[in-house]
Chains A and B, each alone.
Chain A
Amino acid sequence: DGGITQSPKYLFRKEGQNVTLSCEQNLNHDAMYWYRQDPGQGLRLIYYSQIVNDFQKGDIAEGYSVSREKKESFPLTVTSAQKNPTAFYLCASSIRQGRTDTQYFGPGTRLTVL
């Protein structure tokens, strides 16, 4: 089945540690995205990549880093510089439809900083 996988589903981290969240897609989509969602809030864009080896900052990129070495993979690293990293993290990929696109989301990773 085609889709987006995120791992792990739940992640616990000690304060001051970096942690990497995995996102893989087998939909052959060019574009991939990372969002953060806090309780009761909408999604906020962290980083996005429209093509391999290229990515752009979203609205809340500080304290995060990404890489896009392969079309299928877009890992997100939450660094110790992120002041309040506890949140629900969602990865998405998209396919172009004319002048717009449709995003497909993974199941999310819930990160808790202890």
Chain B
Amino acid sequence: DAKTTQPNSMESNEEEPVHLPCNHSTISGTDYIHWYRQLPSQGPEYVIHGLTSNVNNRMASLAIAEDRKSSTLILHRATLRDAAVYYCILRDYDKIIFGKGTRLHILP
């Protein structure tokens, strides 16, 4: 199964942009790239997804490399409420694999 690799943790200052990287060198042509985030003791929350083109929504932007072997989740202006574990997932409809994710710390 295709896997993703993310840094264990990252720090960012409040009100600054955050770039969360994800490597997925074994991605297949039908795998979508999804991002979810999880606050402590809660269920994960959908953030964004994409296939080939960069995507924007009210929460974040997703930048996908041209060869699709990596992607970056961009939080344009981090707040303390963005402190969470962020999961990068390759999603084919019948399978989904969550890794350990990146724990994002926001410094006030």
Q: Which residues of A contact B (CB under 8 A)?
A: 4, 33, 35, 40-45, 88, 90, 92, 96, 99-108, 110
Q: List residues of chain B with CB within 8 A of the CB of A103.
A: 36, 44, 46, 96
Q: B43 contacts the other chain (Cβ, under 8 Å)?
A: yes
Our count of residue pairs bridging A and B at CB distance below 8 angstroms stands at: 51
Out of B91, B99, B100, name the residue touching A100 (CB < 8 Å).
B91
Out of B30, B45, B96, B99, name the residue touching A99 (CB < 8 Å).
B30
Beyond A43-B98, A96-B93, A99-B30, 18 additional contacts (C-beta under 8 Å) are: A4-B43, A35-B98, A42-B87, A42-B98, A43-B87, A44-B98, A45-B97, A100-B34, A100-B92, A100-B93, A101-B91, A102-B46, A103-B46, A103-B96, A105-B45, A106-B43, A108-B41, A110-B41
Name the residue on B nearest A108 (C-beta).
Answer: B43
